[in-house]
Amino acid sequence: YTSLESSDPAIYDKILNYYEPGEMAALAPNFPMDEFIKGNGYDNAKVFLVTEPDALAKLSDLYTSDNLENIKGYFMVQAVLGCTTDLDREAFDARLEAQRSIYGASGTLSDEKYAFAYVNAALPEAMEKAYMAKYDVTETKKEVTQLCKDVADVYREMLENEDWLSDETREYAMEKLDSLEINVVEPKEYVDYSDLDLNGLTYFEIQKALADFSWELDKQRTNGTVNKNLWEGMSTLETNAYYDPTANSINILLGILDGVFYGDDKSKEEIYAGIGAVIGHEISHAFDTNGAQFDKDGNYSNWWTDEDYSAFQERAQKLINYYDGITVFGNEKVTGSLVQTEAIADMAGLKAMLTLASKEESFDYKKFFESYTNVWKNISTYEAIYSQLTQDVHPLDYLRVNVTSQQFDEFYEAFDVKEGDGMYLAPEERILIW
């Protein structure tokens, strides 16, 4: 699927296809499916998730003796490319140069930073534990957890005040909000690496050992239940946060609790515009065009009335149309359907924090919006911006500030924005979903 197809809210209906082994083999009769499954160690699996049945059927057409040498060549090239960062300095530098060319970047990091990045990617939990053993984050975890709870309470108010929602849908949305799992700094459980032995191995051998360990771990889980308490593939030292619709959880990573987002030296306005808006953003994903398709337990389930979901889609379409009309540079326009879910989350997150701000005495809204702008400022190359514009589900950073701020009366009052000004957007043209 393309980036645009993958970001379409209808993607789940396309990818959730369950097949028994025999049924899957029937999709690609020319391909030795039974041998493939057995060779990979999944011969005891009762059911498989096939995200693209058409692609599997196409594989059957391609798997012929005439194509055998090309298939071998393809896998050889992919294997070599996958190893370039694990071999010698010459291979490492060649891959780095290729990446710089793609993104229009220049320069290099220190060897120490590259080393940290690769260890953190390969063994994130080990690095996390080492970090938290050195730095006490107990108070940070406590404060941010409370802020998450405060923002969740604000969402209850927002849901109560949505006059386009029926009582039936609103009630379930409240239940989903009440069931929201809040995870700050670390997951509830860690993967057990006690059986992993890397002593005496080269870096290349270590990568293979890690891959084999993950493969074996996955095979052991076959036919089991999903452990939603893990943060696999995500390091808490990354500057990030996310909502997991399959667990109905928001997860605030330690790496984002610093810099412009959070700190002991930050004012209430800066914290609300920083990590507060991030928290609000992530909670809103429970109710965006993707998250709205999952119930309070993380199951793919429609809990909306037909009328409410239709009204929701109409509001989302208005947002899509507005973004479609934005020209970034030259003839390049934003693709509204690509960024809709993240744009909805940005706006709902900022609305949540402005609602919380309304409960504070002498809140400085000008400082709040300036701080929000400071969070998203950056300098990028043309190549990086073009890649984000065409592939990323997030709006460009300046649009995350400008378009989002345009939706709120508090912004107009703080900066005395009047009709005719460049940032003015008439009330009837505003595109808030929530």
Q: Distance between CA atoms of 275 and 144, rounded to whole angstroms?
A: 8
Q: Please list the active-site residues.
A: 282, 346
What does the CA dihedral 80, 81, 85, 91 come to, rounded to 10 degrees?
A: 80
The dihedrals phi and psi of 332, each to the nearest 5 degrees, come to -80, 120
Q: Distance between CA atoms of 272 and 428, rounded to whole angstroms?
A: 27
Per-residue three-class SS string for 103-131: HCCCCCCCHHHHHHHHHHHHCHHHHHHHH
300: β partners: 294
Picking from 247, 328, 255, the residue whose alpha carbon sits closest to that of residue 295 is 247
In this structure, are residues 236 and 128 in contact, taking their beta carbons and an 8 Å threshold? yes
Q: Where are the alpha helices (DSSP H) in 179-238?
A: 203-220
Q: Distance between CA atoms of 371 and 222, rounded to whole angstroms?
A: 47
Q: Distance between CA atoms of 137 and 143, rounded to whole angstroms?
A: 10
User: To 5 degrees, how large is the angle CA 9–CA 14–CA 18?
Assistant: 130
β-strand pairing of 18-19 with 48-49: antiparallel
In this structure, are residues 328 and 403 in contact, taking their beta carbons and an 8 Å threshold? no
Q: Distance between CA atoms of 230 and 233, rounded to whole angstroms?
A: 9
Q: Distance between CA atoms of 183 and 34, rounded to whole angstroms?
A: 41
Picking from 42, 43, 47, 45, the residue whose alpha carbon sits closest to that of residue 18 is 47
Amino acid identity at 28: A
